Amino acid sequence: MKISSILDMSGCKNKLSASNKNDTLHIMAELLSKNTASGTENTKSLFEGMLQREELGSTGMGNGIAIPHCRLPGMKRFALALSVCDKGIPWDSIDGRSVHIICAIAGPENGTEEHLRLLAGAARVLSNSKARYELLNSQTDFAMRETFLYHLSPVTSKHSKKGRKKLLLMVLQEEKVYNDVMELFLEMGLEGAVTINSDMMGPMLSNVPIFAGFMDVLGRSRPEPRILLTLIPDETIDNTVTAVEEITGDLDNHRGACIIILDTVSIRGSLETL
């Protein structure tokens, strides 16, 4: 699924003018209904769907962004709408700030996996401070759309060439980093990944009587490391590691995260979810 095909110009509105969340959701519903990818002109259903989602919990993610979304029985395809509001809109965001950038997502009721990928992709773009700055300073609908697609493309590009795959083994000790990496892999369309919960050496040794007197400092943080295994095409290794380092920072200078790439002699079967 190409984002460029479901975020067309009819779904983009720069310099949006609205005073509250409901007015904004109406406008976003209209943009989604105009988007040729949506296959529906039912603005009311789109508005009500997004409003019902807001009642479950605010889609204001903080940093001035909101990603209202819904899935409807009548829709056959996904559509995106993108808007920027200079004034700011009260949204009950997690950080209490007004919203300036809105990305709305709507699609078919049974499109759970695609929905998650779109949410993760939109969240990653709008969590990027450089992308937010460029979106807020876009002068036209076209420039706004191109900015969004540009920042999305490094992690959503697909490689059609099917070459040899390698085993990527990653050890992650931080919960947030693990969650962000899993979102990244979902965006990149990896076939599947396996997570193994494990223990660090320090906490384990602190339970051994001979070390108990001086290993407390190692066991105090009690990290919960995970080993993540996935297969990736050989030609995507550099891009994958680069994308992970956008989350962790330089891995050579980051404690608590490690990537190991191993050659594979033979692969049969798949890691895709059943």
Instruction: Please indicate whether residue 191 or residue 88 has the higher confidence score (pLDDT).
Output: 88
- What pairing do the DSSP bridges indicate for beta strands 226-233 and 193-197? antiparallel
Q: In whole angstroms, what is the distance from residue 259 CA to residue 274 CA? A: 26
In this structure, what token pair is assigned to residue 219?
């066991």
Give the residue from 195, 192, 211 showing the smallest Cα distance to 203.
211
pLDDT in tens, 102-142: 999 999 888 888 888 888 888 888 988 889 999 999 999 99
Which phi-psi region, left, alpha or beta, contains residue 50 (left: φ > 0; alpha: ψ -120 to 50)?
A: alpha
Reported confidence tier of residue 223, pLDDT bands at 50, 70, 90: low
Q: Which domains does the chain have, with CATH numbers?
A: 3-156 (3.40.930.10), 165-262 (3.30.70.120)
Identify the helix (H) or strand (E) that includes residue 193.
strand 193-197
pTM: 0.61
In this structure, what token pair is assigned to residue 209?
């009587």
Q: In whole angstroms, what is the distance from residue 214 CA to residue 1 CA? A: 55
How far CA 158 is from CA of 51, 118, 180, 235, 255, in Å, comes to 33, 15, 19, 11, 30
pLDDT in tens, 192-215: 788 888 766 655 545 545 544 444
Torsions phi, psi of 233, nearest 5? -60, 145
* Amino acid (one-letter) located at 47: F
Q: How many residues are there in the chain?
A: 274
- What pairing do the DSSP bridges indicate for beta strands 165-172 and 69-72? unpaired
Identify the helix (H) or strand (E) that includes residue 68.
none
Contact 227, 196 (CB under 8 A): yes
